[in-house]
Amino acid sequence: MMKLRWWRVDASEVAAVTAMGVWEAVLAGGGRRFIKRKDSDAGETGSYRRPALFLASFFNSIARAGRALEELRSSLYNEMHSSEGAKRQQQRFCGPSVALTFNFAVAVGIIVANKMVMGSVGFKFPIALSLIHYAVALVLMAILKALSLLPVAPPSKSTPFSSLFALGAVMSLSTGLANVSLKHNSVGFYQMAKIAVTPTIVAAEFMLFQKKVSFQKVITLATVSFGVAVATVTDLEFNFFGACVALAWIVPSAVNKILWSNLQQTGNWTALALMWKTTPVTIFFLLALMPLLDPPGLLLFDWNFRNTCAIIISALFGFLLQWSGALALGATSALSHVVLGQFKTIVIMLSGYLIFSSDPGVTSICGAVVALGGMSFYTCLGLKESAAPTSKKPPSRSNSFLGKPGVIGDGGSLDYEDSV
């Protein structure tokens, strides 16, 4: 009697069973089907099927793992390469507290960087400095795009080009005029112009969108503005040209925040995607403003290694400030961001008093305390409104900047002293 060992399986049969298992895994249909054996081998069917079943199960497991990996890859691609997914990721990882803290830290950093550029380096060209900031930001975003790390923008048909063009133009005016105002006016007069942005936002949002602010918030904002004015406005020195620039800056600054608010809140725009679309327009208008508002002599500036490095560092902080400002305004509101800017001013002043033993005076300290009290109450009101249930429908995805807005907006002004 001839004995057959279980491993003596015809190679063609193993190949056929393996191919059938792979084909079944690809088609994912039907039950398990195996090749019928010859009548002469019928008595040894059980022993012949053992390696075939093992191979079929092995290839089925590989196919299932491949399908799972493909589903995961597809999910990650949708999250990172669709405007909806990118928006969800931004909201998930960058909430209000993270965004506001990020913006606050970067704002303090750019104050130091810009003081170094304007002081020790002696770069006296405010529009050119803003232009360099935005140019560096555009280069950094182009690198992110080349690496497929830049969030995808919503479809072009969902956002009129006029909205993006208007935002880019207003951003250039807001940033450029702020820096020119600070150069030609005293810090006190500049702070008064910043305080005037708050009621301008309230009035503009009411006129454009019929958006109303509660009486409690109006009183709170007035208290904050009064406290900041008492704390920071120690002199009101200005000239006619500086006053005109400061007044001309107020409206673009407010509109800048409102447009950012509308585009981010009514669509699936992320901060970086919106910056990528509007920065070229901003650069174009800054180029047009530079010969009008900057003094001559930019090409004669001493572009040595030390000065260039200082300006590049300032530009990197400028990019982070613009990004953090957009994130903060995407997570909160335009008015909240104004209050944050005033909070930064008060904290910087009190830090100088507590850490560096500066003497701002009793009046300024009292004003700072009043402002901090008003900011705390404003925060409490905002938290109550956020916690209150609402039955309103989600905002429309029509991104015309005259549509009904949510509550944010700003690209982050690159002021020498602060961001707005």
pLDDT tens digits, 121-169? 888 888 999 999 999 999 999 999 898 888 877 877 777 888 889 889 9
Mean pLDDT of 288-308: 89
Task: Supply φ then ψ for residue 125, to 5 degrees.
Answer: -125, 85
pLDDT at 395: 44
DSSP state of 155: P
% of residues, the chain, pLDDT over 90: 11
Predicted confidence band of residue 372 (pLDDT cuts 50, 70, 90): confident
Closest to 271 (Cα-Cα) out of 99, 393, 136, 118: 99
Closest to 334 (Cα-Cα) out of 411, 231, 220: 411
* Residue owning tokens 């006029």: 162
Give the pTM: 0.69
399 contacts 266 by C-beta, under 8 angstroms = yes
Predicted confidence band of residue 20 (pLDDT cuts 50, 70, 90): low
Closest to 318 (Cα-Cα) out of 100, 166, 103: 103
Query: At residue 47, does pLDDT exceed 80?
Result: no
- As a whole number of Å, the end-to-end CA separation of the chain is 96
Query: At residue 180, does pLDDT exceed 60?
Result: yes
Mean pLDDT of 189-202: 83
What gap in Å lies between CA 415 and CA 420, rounded to an integer? 8
What gap in Å lies between CA 407 and CA 211, rounded to an integer? 10
Mean pLDDT of 14-22: 50
Task: Supply φ then ψ for residue 357, to 5 degrees.
Answer: 60, 30
Task: Supply φ then ψ for residue 409, to 5 degrees.
Answer: 135, 130
What gap in Å lies between CA 58 and CA 17, rounded to an integer? 12
Burial annotation 92-108 (CB, 10 A radius, 16+ → b, else e): eebebeebbebbbebbb
Question: With the CA atoms of 300, 304, 310 and 316 taken in that order, what torsion angle do they form, in degrees rounded to the nearest 10?
Answer: 80
Mean pLDDT of 307-331: 88
The three-class DSSP label of residue 42 is helix
Query: At residue 226, does pLDDT exceed 80?
Result: yes
What gap in Å lies between CA 336 and CA 208, rounded to an integer? 19
DSSP state of 38: P
Highest averaged pLDDT of the listed ranges 68-77, 200-209, 226-235:
200-209
